[in-house]
């Protein structure tokens, strides 16, 4: 695993490495051949700065032995591990392969932990404190970046603790959502609705569905134009979970509240993405984290764990 883009630099590195090691050996060989004439005062005869004399304290032979061992080690290392340019070593080791091996090992170690949850229904997992602790950690690591640490979402990211579901809140639906991800697609509808004035009227009508309209005349005018929207959002804005169209007749505003926000939505549309976790989480992990999410709004109906 190396990233050389040309053979020249690979060879350059390889040659530099080998030459450096050989130079170390050469240095040792030359100094070991050096001989020092015996002096009375046990110095080498070198004098610096008028009166600094180098004492003759020969290094012990075991030190030379260690030096030789390091040279041998360097060659052995280069034979087995990456380092010689584009040669990856006999073992085929790389940081990436080690990482992948460790991940695989960790996944294998987790199998028994999750084994119990494979057959358990979601309603029961949600009542198991240990599973919920795992689920919470999974959620914190993989979901909270968008949905928030408390799973209440924010603008553009759905709140998972309420009972309003875009794509359905049954355990199976949640598992499907987490596994495959979702795309919340609303095309720009301004052309279908009509003039900018019509768009404002429709916005007032949408507000009136939850009793929040500030202009009942405009809301009345917008009602007829709402047919373009009703294709997805349903008559009266009841929403449609099969295509993920939000309800418009409740107090929950995913993309902002008020006439301006609604007008902006009609004009610009929306392309909202929830990435699928398939491949990032195992099936068992998805089941546990889905149970956690399901439990957030169904704590009261979660089944207690029956202890054997």
Footprint of another protein on this chain (CB under 8 A)?
31-38, 45-47, 56, 58-64, 136-137, 140, 144-146, 148-155, 157, 257
Among 262, 259, 222, 260, residue whose Cα is nearest residue 246:
262
Between the alpha carbon of residue 228 and those of residues 92, 183, 186, 189, 190, the distances in Å are: 61, 20, 12, 8, 10
Question: Minimum Å distance from CB 38 to another protein?
Answer: 6
For residues 84 and 248, which CB has a smaller minimum distance to another protein in the complex? 248
Question: Minimum Å distance from CB 145 to another protein?
Answer: 6
Between the alpha carbon of residue 269 and those of residues 19, 127, 189, 239, 255, the distances in Å are: 64, 40, 7, 16, 11
Alpha carbons 76 and 44: distance in angstroms, whole number:
37
For residues 16 and 32, which CB has a smaller minimum distance to another protein in the complex? 32
For residues 74 and 296, which CB has a smaller minimum distance to another protein in the complex? 296
Question: Minimum Å distance from CB 291 to another protein?
Answer: 18
Alpha carbons 291 and 172: distance in angstroms, whole number:
10
| Residue with tokens 């929950």, as numbered in its chain | 252
For residues 84 and 274, which CB has a smaller minimum distance to another protein in the complex? 274
Alpha carbons 56 and 261: distance in angstroms, whole number:
87
Question: Minimum Å distance from CB 136 to another protein?
Answer: 8
Question: Minimum Å distance from CB 129 to another protein?
Answer: 11
The answer to whether the CB of 143 falls within 8 A of the CB of 289 is: yes
For residues 31 and 216, which CB has a smaller minimum distance to another protein in the complex? 31
For residues 46 and 280, which CB has a smaller minimum distance to another protein in the complex? 46
Among 138, 130, 183, 146, residue whose Cα is nearest residue 287:
138
Alpha carbons 4 and 88: distance in angstroms, whole number:
12
Question: Minimum Å distance from CB 288 to another protein?
Answer: 17
Question: Minimum Å distance from CB 209 to another protein?
Answer: 19
For residues 170 and 214, which CB has a smaller minimum distance to another protein in the complex? 214
- The partner residues of 154 in beta bridges, in order of sequence, read 157
């Amino acid at each position: 695993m190396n990233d050389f883009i040309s053979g020249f630099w690979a060879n350059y590195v390889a040659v530099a490495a080998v030459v450096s090691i050989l130079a170390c050996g050469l240095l040792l060989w030359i100094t070991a051949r050096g001989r020092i004439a015996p002096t009375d005062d046990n110095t080498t005869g070198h004098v610096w700065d008028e009166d600094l004399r180098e004492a003759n304290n020969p290094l012990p032979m075991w030190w030379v032995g260690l030096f030789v061992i390091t040279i041998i080690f360097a060659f052995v290392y280069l034979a087995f591990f990456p380092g010689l340019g584009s040669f990856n070593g006999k073992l085929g080791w790389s940081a990436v392969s080690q990482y992948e091996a460790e991940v695989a090992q960790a996944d294998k170690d987790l199998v028994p932990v999750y084994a119990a949850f494979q057959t358990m229904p979601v309603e029961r997992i949600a009542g198991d404190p240990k599973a919920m602790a795992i689920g919470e950690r999974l959620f914190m690591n993989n979901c909270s970046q968008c949905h928030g640490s408390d799973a209440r979402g924010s603008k553009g990211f759905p709140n998972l603790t309420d009972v309003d579901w875009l794509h359905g809140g049954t355990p199976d639906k949640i598992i499907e959502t987490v596994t495959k991800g979702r795309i919340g697609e609303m095309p720009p509808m301004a052309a279908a609705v009509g003039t900018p004035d019509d768009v404002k009227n429709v916005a007032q009508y949408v507000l009136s569905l939850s009793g929040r309209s500030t202009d009942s005349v405009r809301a009345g005018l917008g009602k007829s134009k709402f047919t373009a929207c009703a294709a997805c959002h349903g008559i009266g804005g009841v929403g449609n979970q099969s295509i993920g169209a939000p309800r418009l007749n409740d107090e929950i505003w995913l993309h902002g509240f008020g006439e301006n926000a609604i007008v902006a939505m009609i004009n610009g549309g929306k392309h909202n993405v929830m990435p699928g976790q398939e491949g990032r989480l195992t099936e068992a992990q998805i089941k546990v984290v889905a149970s956690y999410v399901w439990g957030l709004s169904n704590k009261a109906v979660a089944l207690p764990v029956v202890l054997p």
